[in-house]
Amino acid sequence: MARGKKTVEVKELRDHANKLLAMEESDVINTGFKSGVCAMIEKVLHLTGNYEGYSYLKDDEWGINSFGYFSRKYY
């Protein structure tokens, strides 16, 4: 049985990614998890012409692989 093509709102995906990226560190929410969220949402935003940058949520932690580096909000 063939399945129909599905579409989603880019804004909905971006909002969900922003919620995940704003979460505090835990056993599940770590730098690897947030790095994956960033990679996926950036690809979606670029492919759809919706990339408008991001800002960091944690001003005190910007090291390239730190938890704060991946705590960001996409526009």
pLDDT in tens, the chain (75 residues): 667 778 889 999 999 999 999 999 999 999 999 999 999 999 999 999 999 999 998 766 666 777 888 999 999
Contact assessment for residue 66 and residue 31, using Cβ atoms and an 8 Å cutoff: yes
**Domain positions in the chain:** 10-74
Contact assessment for residue 42 and residue 51, using Cβ atoms and an 8 Å cutoff: yes
* pLDDT score for 60: 67
Which residues are within 8 A (CB) of 65 and not within 5 positions of it... i.e. 6 or more apart?
31
* pLDDT score for 5: 78
